[in-house]
């Protein structure tokens, strides 16, 4: 496992870390013991950073990770998020009372006195122009309720605005073979400010595993069935905003680039790690075998310049026109 510095926190975190959305739900059925087994296997493989949110399984994901931390003597870092419990999800809801309540709820779920890292959970764009929100987060740090804070964003422009606030330590953003714009506009600025970058949806909701076909079916409570057009939340969170058929066509081209012995899953994760600005990618895993395949990618050799260029050509041919200027 590789380890990289996370912003200005002083933490060195696993370059491939654990995204815990899937073990909370909205990815089909969840078995708690199997989810715990996946978490334990990730820990065995050197993962020391776990990303969750208060809304993943209405707190289930946080509670499972709390159980993992209770079981181990190894130091781990847990990032959670706040904001998406708001209904309606509007900028005015990001106020002192609500944020404090969300933090207290996560403290209870995670069974801790202080959150390691709290991220605003893809708030409306307006929030990034409300300095009082970041003032509340500063106060929560001063009160000992959290060590650090960051943001999870939908758009590159939101990321660029967020890092103007001096105490934003991390930005979580969709970055994968189907969503390459952050590298063009955002990464350099983040590096200049020593802001950590967490690459989420690294496998494009599983599309970049290469395991889906035109006939694949998804459970009714799986966002890959109910959110393809953004019915429940931003459509970019589901298959990176790429329509299903186009994604399948691009995947067939990408498979041809995989070096011998490397699965498409591992290729997609290793591709992300080719960008030094990225602190870590956070693939999800509901089963130990998924964790093993994912985290083995950190120890694979770098991709060649030729392969990196070829992957960009596939992006430009199939994907760029669909997503590049939306997020």
| Buried b or exposed e, range 52-84, using 16+ CB within 10 angstroms | bbbbbbebbbbbbbbbbbeeeeeebbbbbbbbb
Which one-letter DSSP state was computed for residue 302? P
Is residue 30 over pLDDT 90? no
- Token representation of residue 203: 């496998």
Is residue 214 over pLDDT 80? yes
Domain residue spans of the chain: 3-323
Is residue 102 over pLDDT 80? yes
* Residue given tokens 């990225």 in the structure block: 278
CATH code reported for the domain at 3-323: 3.20.20.100
**pLDDT mean over 30-35:** 87
Q: In the prediction, which pLDDT does 234 show?
A: 86
pLDDT confidence tier of residue 327, bands split at 50, 70 and 90:
confident
- Token representation of residue 125: 């764009």
Q: Which residues pair with 139 in a beta bridge?
A: none
Residues 6+ apart with CB under 8 A from 264: 208, 209, 210, 251, 254, 255, 258
pLDDT confidence tier of residue 28, bands split at 50, 70 and 90:
low
* Residue given tokens 């890292």 in the structure block: 117
**pLDDT mean over 242-265:** 96
* pLDDT tens per residue, range 217-236: 999 888 999 988 888 898 98
Least confident of 25-29, 75-79, 257-261: 25-29
Q: In the prediction, which pLDDT does 195 show?
A: 98
Identify the H or E element spanning 64.
helix 60-71
pLDDT confidence tier of residue 326, bands split at 50, 70 and 90:
confident
Is residue 27 over pLDDT 60? no
* pLDDT tens per residue, range 156-166: 999 999 999 99
Reply yes or no: is the peptide bond before residue 88 cis, omega within 30 of 0: yes
CA–CA separation, 204 and 323 (whole Å): 13
Residues 6+ apart with CB under 8 A from 293: 263, 265, 266
% of residues, the chain, pLDDT over 90: 89
Longest distance between any two alpha carbons in the chain, whole Å: 54
For 33, phi and psi rounded to 5 degrees? -65, -35
pLDDT confidence tier of residue 129, bands split at 50, 70 and 90:
very high
* pLDDT tens per residue, range 304-315: 999 999 999 999
Is residue 325 over pLDDT 90? no
Q: In the prediction, which pLDDT does 51 show?
A: 98
Distance from CA of residue 260 to its chain's centroid?
A: 28
pLDDT confidence tier of residue 169, bands split at 50, 70 and 90:
very high
Give helix 305-314 / helix 244-255 axis angle, nearest 10°. 160
Which comes out higher in pLDDT, residue 50 or 32? Answer: 50
């Amino acid at each position: 496992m590789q380890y990289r510095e996370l912003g200005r926190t002083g933490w060195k975190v696993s370059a491939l870390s654990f995204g815990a959305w899937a073990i909370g739900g909205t990815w089909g059925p969840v078995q708690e013991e199997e989810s715990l087994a996946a978490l334990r296997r990730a820990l065995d493989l050197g993962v020391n950073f776990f990303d969750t949110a208060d809304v993943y399984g209405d707190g289930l994901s946080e509670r499972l990770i709390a159980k993992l931390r209770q079981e181990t003597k190894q130091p781990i870092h847990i990032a959670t998020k706040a904001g998406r419990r708001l209904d309606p999800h509007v900028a005015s809801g990001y106020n002192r009372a609500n944020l404090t309540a969300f933090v207290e709820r996560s403290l209870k779920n995670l069974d801790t006195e202080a959150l390691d890292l709290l991220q605003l959970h893809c708030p409306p764009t307006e929030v990034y122009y409300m300095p009082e929100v970041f003032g509340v987060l500063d106060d929560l740090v001063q009160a000992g309720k959290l060590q650090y804070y960051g943001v999870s964003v939908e758009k590159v422009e939101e990321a660029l605005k967020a890092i103007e606030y001096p105490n934003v330590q991390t930005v979580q953003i969709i970055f994968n073979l189907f969503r390459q714009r952050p590298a063009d506009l955002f990464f350099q600025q983040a590096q200049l400010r020593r802001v950590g970058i967490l690459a989420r949806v690294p496998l494009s909701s599983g599309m970049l595993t290469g395991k889906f076909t035109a006939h694949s079916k998804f459970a009714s409570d799986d966002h890959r069935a109910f959110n393809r057009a953004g019915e429940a939340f931003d459509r970019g969170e589901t298959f990176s905003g790429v329509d299903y058929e186009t994604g399948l066509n691009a995947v067939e081209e990408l498979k041809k680039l995989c070096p011998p012995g490397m699965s498409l899953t591992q290729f997609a994760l290793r591709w992300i790690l080719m960008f030094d600005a990225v602190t870590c990618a956070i693939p999800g895993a509901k089963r130990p075998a998924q964790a093993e395949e994912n985290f083995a990618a950190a120890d694979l050799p770098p991709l060649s310049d030729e392969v990196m260029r070829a992957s960009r050509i596939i992006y430009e041919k199939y994907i760029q026109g669909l997503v590049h200027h939306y997020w």
